[in-house]
Amino acid sequence: MNPDHISLHNKQFEPYLSATQLATAIQELATRLTQDYAGKTPLLVAVLNGSFMFVADLMKGLKFDCEVSFIKVASYQGTSSTGSVKEVLGLSEDIKDRHVIIVEDIVDTGHTMRMLLDTLAAKQPASLEVATLFMKPECLQHELSIRYVGLSIPNDFIVGYGLDYDGLGRNYPDVYKAV
């Protein structure tokens, strides 16, 4: 499945990043995390829905014991952030004194990540880091120190590899950008 263009709802998308490029970026992140978390057993907190493919592939490359949990937050409507974040499904594990890595598909405005970092930091983890597949530095509206970034990208609206446009497009193994 690698069409030249895809159409979702009322938008057209063109190829942007191949599955091979994504796999390379994810493996590089897995290697860095493996070095930094050797001898530790962190909890990966994957942010649904967008990160499900990323966290699955990332975990395959990790060479240490870890656990995974999922949380669901919503801040997007259509192609833009609503600016407010609503926690939908929360974390049930006790993270006090645990090493926690938030696994996110994309950080753009930073609203969701700021809320998650503040919420989880209040639970007193031993450490708290973020691993994101995509980062849009020019969109950030919050001071965030994100240590693990797969790919920095411009402010293009993208779909595929877990990212969607109003529910569609997550199933594509490649990433497409709106034209």
Question: Over its length of 179 residues, how does the chain's per-residue pLDDT go in tens digits?
Answer: 567 899 999 999 999 999 999 999 999 999 999 999 999 999 999 999 999 999 999 999 999 999 999 998 865 555 555 556 665 577 889 999 999 999 999 999 998 899 899 989 999 999 999 999 999 999 999 989 899 999 999 999 999 999 999 999 999 999 999 99
- Unique residue bearing structure tokens 């994309």: 106
Cβ-based neighbours of 173, under 8 Å, separated by 6 or more = 1, 2, 19, 22, 160, 161
DSSP 50: T
pLDDT at position 90: 79
Cis peptide before 49, with omega less than 30 degrees from 0?
A: yes
Q: What is the CATH number of domain 35-174?
A: 3.40.50.2020
| pLDDT recorded at residue 22 | 98
Q: How far apart are CA 158 and CA 59, in angstroms?
A: 23
pLDDT at 151: 98
Domain boundaries, the chain: 35-174
Please report the pLDDT score of residue 92 as a whole number.
87
Cα angle at 26 between 23 and 31, to 5 degrees?
Answer: 125
Predicted structure pTM score: 0.91
Q: Which residues are catalytic?
A: 108
In this prediction, residue 120 carries a pLDDT of 92
